[in-house]
Amino acid sequence: MAVLKNKEENWDEIKDGVFRKIVYLEHIMTVMIEFRNGHWSQPEPYHSHPHEQTCYIAKGEIVLYCEGEPDQHLTEGDMFYIPSGIKHTIRVDSPIVRLIDSFTPIREDFL
């Protein structure tokens, strides 16, 4: 069993102001990502991936943009899912945002 304690400062900085922690098994991955560079004036570029994704907004506010859907303002406690292959992105709408993402299959590109 792997344990990743939240109190430990073991964040990986993946780009300026964006930090990530990951736990995973063979078929599922959970990613905690924290944006410490918010209020963004623009969303990130759209992207898609073959993985199914669920997301829980643990802290802060975002706007979710998802292909074929109306834009959604989401706050702490809200959740969303993204089917495989659907283009999507977010805009960070608060100083700090923490998201808890789950992916299946695992995101090899995150390892």
CATH assignment at residue 74: 2.60.120.10
In a domain, 43, yes or no: yes
pLDDT tens readout for residues 94-108 = 999 999 999 999 999
In a domain, 88, yes or no: yes
In a domain, 66, yes or no: yes
In a domain, 95, yes or no: yes
In a domain, 5, yes or no: no
Q: What is the model's pLDDT at position 19?
A: 96
Burial of 14: CB neighbours in 10 Å, binned 0-12, 13-18, 19+: exposed
Are β-strands 52-59 and 61-66 bridged in parallel, bridged antiparallel, or unpaired? unpaired
pLDDT tens readout for residues 17-38 = 999 999 999 999 999 999 999 9
Q: Which of 101, 110, 14, 108 is nearest to 52 (CA)?
A: 101
Determine the residue type at 83: P
Query: Which of 4-13, 77-86, 89-98 shows the lowest per-residue confidence on average (mean pLDDT)?
Result: 4-13
Q: CB of 53 within 8 A of CB of 99?
A: no
**Average pLDDT over the chain, rounded to an integer:** 95
The count of domains in the chain is: 1
